[in-house]
Amino acid sequence: MNFKPTYIIKHFFIALLLLPLQQVFAQGINTTFGQNRVQYGEFEWSYVRSENFDSYFYKGGRELATFAAKYAEENLNALETVLDHRLSGRIEIIFYNTLGDFKQSNFGLEEIAQNTGGYTQVVNNKVYIYFNGDHGDFVRQLKDGMSLVLLNELLYGGSFQERVQSATLLNLPQWYLRGLTSYISKPWDADMDNRMKDGLLSKKLMKFNRLNNKDEVFAGHSIWKFLVDKYGMEVIPNMVYITRITRNYENAFIYVTGLKFKDLQKEWLDYYKTLYLKEETGRSLPFAELKIKRKQAQYIQPEMKVSSKGNYLAFTTNKNGKYKVWLFDTKTGKSKKIFKGGIKYNQLEVDHSFPLVTWQQGGDKLGIIYEKRGYVYLKLSDLVTKEKTVIQFQKFEKITGIDFSDNGRTIVLSAIRKGQSDLYTFDIPSRRERQLTNDFYDDINPRFVDYSSKVVFSSNRNTDSLAQPVIPKIYETNNFDIYQYDLESKNGMLKRITRTPNINETQPIDFNRNYMAYLSDYNGIKNRYAARVEEEFDYNEIQIKYFDSTYKNTDTLYYFEENIPQKGKEFDYNGKHVVLDTTVEKIDTILHTKDIVYTYPLTNFTRNILAHDVSVQAKMVYDLMLVNNKYYIKMTPLSKSVEEDSKSIETYPNMFRLKSGYATTQFEAGRKEYRRLPGFAQPVQEVKEETETLITKNLLIWFCQSLVHLLKMGLIKTI
C-alpha cells in the first residue's frame, strides 16, 4: 500500500468505512506504475493500537508488533525529554518479519527513492522496522525512527504543508539529523569504537565532506557523542532549538558552543585521536595473513569458516546486495567463486546476514545458507563428487547461524520463527527438526562441541533455566553471554559459561578437545578468550516421601557435605540426630553438582576480531579484521597451552571501556563458579577462586523452617 499525499482523501474515507472492523488490508494497490518492487506474496495487514501508536503487522508478526507498541509507549517520554518536544500526532509502526520482506514493500517507495541519503526508516510519521534475530537491534530501529519523527515535528512542523514550507528554508545534512537519531537510539559500543579508531588512524574520516552516506551518519553519531561528553545532555535540545530558530546549524554551533563548525571539527578529531593513539601501545596484530584480492577484500562480510583439514577457507562478499561465496585454497593462495546471488540495491539497506557457510566434518562438503524469493535454502556442495543438493526450509523465516555435527547428517540452526530467535537441530536425510529453545530471548551463533554431544551458543537470556516463564522485555543489561546445551540431557537446564553484565560474549567455537573459544569485548576490543567446563560436588538433596500423600507429600532437606551421616531412617541434620517414624515410605538422595568454568584470555589485538574459526588438524586460527580501512584474514598458530600462553596476555580496558564503567581492571583469569541455590528459580552467583562457599541467609531460613515444620507435625524425634 502506497502512502502518497494524492491519496490521503481516498484513504481517509476507506478508513472510516473500516473503523468498526479489525483493519486488514492487502499490499500492492495504488502503487506508482514502473516503481513497484518485486514481491513474492501478498501481505495481509492488521494492526494493534495503543495510546500513541498503531503497530501494523502481517502473518507471524503479531507478537513483535505488540511488543513494539508497548516498548514505544514505555520509552516515548524519555525521547521527548531528550529532545524537549512532545509528540503532537500518532506514529504508525510498520513491522516486517525480516529485512527480506521489507525489500518487497512498496510503502514509502517514492519518498525513499527521492531521499538522497538512500535507505531510510521513516516516511512522515511512519516508522519502518524489521527483525533480524536481535531484539536489541529491533528496539534500536524503533527508537531511531521515533526520534526522527519527533525531530521532524520540532524542526519542520507537524503538518505536511508546514514541512514542505520549512524544508525549503532548512536543509540539514545527514550527519546532523540521522547522526543525532543514531546517537539517541544506540549507545556507543565496541563495534563503533573500533570503526571510529580505524577510520581516524587510517585518515578515512579526516575528509568530512567526502564521506559516503553510511559513514556520514556514523561520523555524525560520533560528533554528537563528543558534544554530549564535553557539554552534557542539554546540548542536544539547545542545538536543535537554535537550529530551528536560526534555520542554520552552523549558527547554532556558534551560539551553543562558542565555536565555528570548522574549529569544532578539529576539536572532535583531536578528542578521539588522543584516546586512540594511547591504546595502540602494548597491543599488536597477527603478522601472517591470507592474500585476498583487493576487489574481493573490500566487500568481505563477517562470515568465514575453515575446513577441518585447514586446506580450504570459505568466505563471503556482498557488493550492494549482490553476494558471492568464495573458496580459498590455503596451500596455493588462490580463490574461486563457487556461488552467487542477490539483486543490486542502490537505495535500500543491504542485508549482510547471508549467505552463511559451514563445513561438514572431513572438509569435503560445504553448506551454504541463502535466501531467494522470500524463502530460505541450504545448498550442500560436495567438492570431490561435485554433487549438489538444495533443501528449502518451509517453517523458518530466516536462519542466522548454522553448524555441522560430526556425523555429517545433523545441523544446528539459529532460526527466526514467529518473532523469536531460537535454536533447532535438523536431520538432513529425514528432514526432521528438533526445537531446543523456545522463548523471547535471542539465541545466536550455535556450534557443536564435545564430539557434537553439546551445543554452545550466545544469548541475551538472564537465566539458565529453559522451563522458567519469560517476560517479553528488554533489560538495561541486554548483553550476550555464552551458554551450553546438553543434547543428551532432559532437565531443561543450560550450563552458563560466562556472566558479564553490559559486556558481550559472542561466536563460541570448539577450540580443541579441552577448550572452547569465544569473542569478548571486555577490554573494549573484541578479542578471543578460551574456557573449559568441569563439574564439582555442590550439595546433597534428601527427599522424604510419606505413605499418606494427602496428608503430606514430601519434605526436602539439604546437605552441603558430600558424605551424608545417614543410616536408614536415622541421620544427623543441623547438629541433631533425627529418627523418622513409620509414616515415611522412602528417602531419596539426589546429588547436585556445580559448574566450574576456567577462562583465559588468548589475544590482545588493537582491532576487533569480526569473525574467527579454527582448524585443529592444521593447528591454525583464522581471524577476520578491519585494519586501515581494509579487511584482512589473519592467521595465528593454535595455542599449545592455553593456561600458560594466557599469562603474557594483558587485558586492561581501553578508554572507551573505562569511561563506560563496566570494566575498570584487567580480566580475572582462572576459576569461576556457577551454581543454583536450592529452592530458588534464579541461578547462579559467581564465586571467585579462593572464596569459600558459604550458606546464605536464605538457605539458613530454609533449613530452619523445614526442621521446625517436621518437629511440629511430630514426624521426627530428637535424641
pLDDT tens figures, 43-55: 889 999 999 999 9
User: Which of 148-162, 284-298, 678-692 is the least confident region?
Assistant: 678-692
Does residue 31 carry a pLDDT above 80? no
% of the chain at pLDDT higher than 70: 82
Place of cell 486488514: 24
Element (H, E) at 509: strand 505-510
Does residue 29 carry a pLDDT above 70? no
- At 633 the three-state DSSP class reads strand
CA distance linking residue 480 with residue 457, whole number of Å: 10
CA 189 to chain centre: 12
Does residue 327 carry a pLDDT above 90? yes
C-beta separation of 534 from 593 below 8 A: no
The 10s digit of each residue's pLDDT in 642-653 is 999 999 999 999
CA distances 244 to 61, 171, 295, Å, are 38, 11, 44
CA distance linking residue 73 with residue 64, whole number of Å: 14
C-beta separation of 229 from 235 below 8 A: no
CA distances 85 to 152, 177, 251, Å, are 11, 15, 21
Does residue 521 carry a pLDDT above 50? yes
The 10s digit of each residue's pLDDT in 72-127 is 999 999 999 999 999 998 999 999 999 888 887 765 554 443 333 334 467 778 99
C-beta separation of 602 from 642 below 8 A: yes
Q: Averaged over 356-368, what is the pLDDT?
A: 93
C-beta separation of 56 from 93 below 8 A: yes
CA distance linking residue 687 with residue 671, whole number of Å: 9
CA distance linking residue 67 with residue 418, whole number of Å: 13
Burial of 253 (0-12, 13-18, 19+ CB in 10 A): buried
Place of cell 587510517: 202
CA distance linking residue 511 with residue 641, whole number of Å: 12
Kindly give, in sequence order, each residue whose CB lies less than 8 Å from that of residue 548, ignoring residues fewer than 6 positions away.
583
CA distance linking residue 674 with residue 691, whole number of Å: 13
**Amino acid at position 118, single letter:** G
Q: What pLDDT score was predicted for residue 115?
A: 39
Q: What pLDDT score was predicted for residue 685?
A: 31
Does residue 23 carry a pLDDT above 60? no
Q: What pLDDT score was predicted for residue 240?
A: 94
Report whether the peptide linkage leading into residue 355 is cis, meaning its omega lies within 30 degrees of zero.
Answer: yes
Sheet holding 481-486, edge to edge: 443-449, 454-459, 481-486, 495-496
C-beta separation of 501 from 477 below 8 A: yes
**Between residues 666 and 556, the one the model is more confident about:** 666
Does residue 173 carry a pLDDT above 70? yes
Q: What is the mean pLDDT of the chain?
A: 83
Does residue 62 carry a pLDDT above 90? yes
User: Which of 180-194, 324-338, 575-589 is the least confident region?
Assistant: 575-589
Q: What pLDDT score was predicted for residue 24?
A: 35
Does residue 596 carry a pLDDT above 60? yes
Nearest Cα residue to 299 out of 331, 330, 342: 342
- At 144 the three-state DSSP class reads helix
Kindly give, in sequence order, each residue whose CB lies less than 8 Å from that of residue 573, ignoring residues fewer than 6 positions away.
557, 559, 707
Nearest Cα residue to 174 out of 237, 217, 226, 115: 217
The total number of residues shown for the chain amounts to 719
Q: Averaged over 296-317, what is the pLDDT?
A: 94
User: How many Cα atoms are found within 13 Å in the side-chain-facing hemisphere of 285?
Assistant: 18
The 10s digit of each residue's pLDDT in 529-573 is 999 999 889 888 888 888 877 766 777 888 887 877 767 677 777
